Amino acid sequence: MAFAFSHLQSWRAIKMAAFIPITVYLNHKPTVVASIADAGTALQQPWPLMEKPSRLEAIRMIEECLAGHCSLQAAFAAFKAAASEQGLLK
């Protein structure tokens, strides 16, 4: 599945100060996720189950957040839940 985060570049500098960064392990490499932009980048990487509903929901929520239609907290929570469900948090 191909998707684009059209506003990702403009959101690169926005960090979620209210959130504690999390580390996800993609391809056995640690990746720190400290912003919605970081979460969007991580979602573009290969995941164990690319079509898992929670991952697809996280993609949708990140896109909604970048469009201004949902909160940072909700989008980050969806990302964290998807990563946890796939065993990417250690």
Question: What predicted TM-score, i.e. pTM, was given to this entire model?
Answer: 0.81
Q: Does residue 43 sit within a domain?
A: yes
Domain count, the chain: 1
Whether 16 is covered by a domain: the verdict is no
Q: Has residue 31 been placed in a domain?
A: yes
Domain interval for residue 33 = 21-85
**Spatial CB neighbours of 46, under 8 Å, sequence gap ≥ 6:** 26, 27
Distance of CA 26 to the CA centre of its chain: 12
Kindly report, residue by residue over 22-73, the tens digit of the pLDDT.
Answer: 999 999 999 999 999 999 999 999 999 999 999 999 999 999 999 999 999 9
- Report pLDDT digits (tens) over 6-25: 444 444 444 444 578 999 99
pLDDT at 3 over 80: no
Of the CA atoms within 13 Å of residue 16, those in its CB half-sphere come to 21
Sign of the C-alpha dihedral computed for residues 48, 22, 81 and 58 taken in this order: negative
Q: Which two tokens stand for residue 41?
A: 């980048």
Residue 43's alpha-carbon distances to 10, 25, 65, in angstroms, are 17, 12, 14
